[in-house]
Amino acid sequence: MTTLNFETDSNGLAVLSIDVQGRPMNVLTPELTQALADAVERIAGDATIKGAVITSGKPGAFIAGADLKDLVTAFDRGIDAAEGAKASYELSRLFRRIETCGKPFAAAINGLALGGGLELCLACHYRVLLDDPKAVVGLPEVQVGLLPGAGGTQRLPRLIGIPAALPLLLQGKQVKPAEAQKLGIVHALAPADTILEAAKTWLLQSPTAEQPWDNKKFRVPGGAGPSAPHAAQTFVAGNALTSSMTNGNYPAPPAIMSCVFEGTQVPIDVGLRIESKYFGKLLASPVARNMIRTLFVNKGAADKLAARPAGVPKSKVQKLGVLGAGMMGAGIAHVSAKAGMDVVLLDSTLEQAEKGKAGIAAQQAKLVAKGRTTQDKADALLAKITATDDYARLEGCDLIVEAVFEKREIKADVTRKAEAVIPATATFGSNTSTLPITGLAQASSRPKQFIGIHFFSPVEKMPLVEIIVGEQTSQETIARTLDYVGQLKKTPIVVRDFPGFFTSRVFGTFTQEGLRMLLDGIEPALIESGARLAGFPVGPLAVSDEVTLSLQQSIFKQQDADGLDDKYRGRIGRPVIDKMVDELKRPGRRFGAGFYDYPENGPKALWPGLAEAFPPKAEQPDVAEIKARFLTIMALETARCFEEGVVPDAVGADIGSILGIGYPAWTGGTLSYIDTVGVGAFVAECRRLAQAWGPRFEPSEWLAARADKGETFYPAAAQQG
Peptide bond into 458 cis (omega under 30): yes
Strands 399-402 and 319-323: parallel
pLDDT at residue number 246: 83
> Which runs of consecutive H residues, i.e. helices, occur in 264-321?
268-283, 286-292, 299-303
Q: What's the pLDDT score for residue 715?
A: 80
pLDDT band at 720 (very low <50, low <70, confident <90, very high): very low
Q: What is the DSSP code (8-state) at residue 295?
A: I
Helix 540-547 to helix 524-534 angle (10° resolution) is 100
| Residue 224 contacts residue 162 (beta carbons within 8 Å) | yes
Of the pLDDT bands very low, low, confident and very high (cuts 50, 70, 90), residue 26 is very high
**How far apart, in whole angstroms, are the C-alpha atoms of residue 610 and residue 477?**
48
For 431, other C-beta atoms within 10 Å of its C-beta total 25
User: For 104, phi and psi rounded to 5 degrees?
Assistant: -75, 140
Q: Calculate the alpha carbon distances from 350 to 359, 390, 422 in Å.
A: 14, 8, 20
Query: For 4-284, CATH number?
Result: 3.90.226.10
CA distance 105 to 637: 55
Q: Return the C-alpha torsion angle 230, 233, 236, 239, nearest 10.
A: -120
Q: Put the strands of the sheet holding 51-56 in their side by side order.
A: 4-8, 13-18, 51-56, 105-109, 126-130, 188-190
Tell the burial category of 10 from Cβ atoms under 10 Å away from its Cβ (0-12, 13-18, 19+).
Answer: exposed
User: Strand 399-402 relative to strand 427-430: parallel, antiparallel, unpaired?
Assistant: parallel
Class of residue 18 by CB neighbours under 10 A (exposed 0-12, middle 13-18, buried 19+): buried
Residue 385 CA from chain centroid, whole number = 29
The residue among 253, 254, 264, 177 whose CA lies nearest residue 220 is: 264
Q: Which residues are 190's β-sheet partners?
A: 130
- The domain made up of 504-645+647-717 has a fold known as N-(1-d-carboxylethyl)-l-norvaline Dehydrogenase; domain 2 (1.10.1040)
Helix axes 327-338, 475-488, angle to 10 degrees: 80
454 is annotated as an active-site residue: yes
Q: How far is residue 379's CA from residue 384's CA, in Å, rounded to a whole number?
A: 9
Q: List Cβ neighbours of 371 (8 Å cut-off, separation of 6 or more).
A: none
| Mean pLDDT for the stretch of residues 514-541 | 95
Worst-scoring range by mean pLDDT, 115-129, 330-344, 512-526, 597-611? 597-611
Residue 74: predicted pLDDT: 84
- Specify whether domain 319-499 bears CATH 3.40.50.720: yes
Q: Write down the pLDDT at residue 70.
A: 84
Amino acid identity, residue 479? A
pLDDT band (50, 70, 90) for residue 565: low
Give 718's pLDDT tier (boundaries 50, 70, 90).
Answer: very low
Q: What mean pLDDT is predicted for residues 398-410? A: 91
pLDDT in the model for residue 712: 94
Q: Identify the band that residue 234 occupies on the pLDDT scale cut at 50, 70 and 90.
A: confident
- Residue 602: in which H helix or E strand, if any? none
How sure is the predictor about 717, in pLDDT bands with cuts at 50, 70 and 90?
very low
Burial of 292 from C-beta contacts in 10 A (0-12 / 13-18 / 19+): buried
Q: Taking the mean position of all CA atoms in its chain, how far away is CA 693? A: 33
Instruction: Give Cβ neighbours of residue 210 (< 8 Å, ≥ 6 apart).
Output: 125
Over residues 585-598, mean pLDDT: 91
* Per-residue confidence (pLDDT) for residue 435, from 0 to 100: 84
- The pLDDT tens digits of the residues spanning 596-648 come to 999 988 899 999 999 999 999 999 999 999 999 999 999 999 999 999 999 99
Spot the catalytic one: 125, 187, 334, 454: 454
Q: How confident is the model at residue 719 (pLDDT cuts 50, 70, 90)?
A: very low
Q: CB count, 10 Å around CB of 41?
A: 12
pLDDT tens digits for range 204-227: 997 889 999 999 999 999 988 888
Q: Which sign does the torsion angle of CA 202, 204, 209, 210 carry?
A: negative
d(CA 606, CA 264): 44
CA gap 469, 494 in Å, rounded: 7
Q: Is 223 exposed, middle or buried (0-12, 13-18, 19+ CB in 10 A)?
A: middle
What is the reported pLDDT for 284?
A: 92
CA torsion, ordered 536, 403, 547, 674, to nearest 10 deg: -30
Supply the DSSP string of 196-251, one letter for each residue.
HHHHHHHHHT------GGGSTT---TT--STTSTTHIIIIIIHHHHHHHHHTTS-S
* pLDDT over 50 (residue 721): no
* Alpha carbon of residue 224 to chain centroid: 33
> pLDDT for 250-261, tens place per residue?
999 999 999 999
What does the DSSP 8-state code read for residue 399?
Answer: E
pLDDT, position 375: 94
Q: What's the mean pLDDT in 237-248?
A: 79
**Rounded distance between C-alpha atoms, residue 284 and residue 270, angstroms:** 22
Measured CA to CA, the distance from residue 452 to residue 441 in angstroms comes to 10
How do residues 411-453 score in pLDDT, each as one tens digit?
A: 999 999 999 999 999 999 999 877 889 999 999 999 999 999 9
Query: What residue spans define the domains of the chain?
Result: 4-284, 319-499, 504-645+647-717
The one-letter code for the residue type at 137 is V
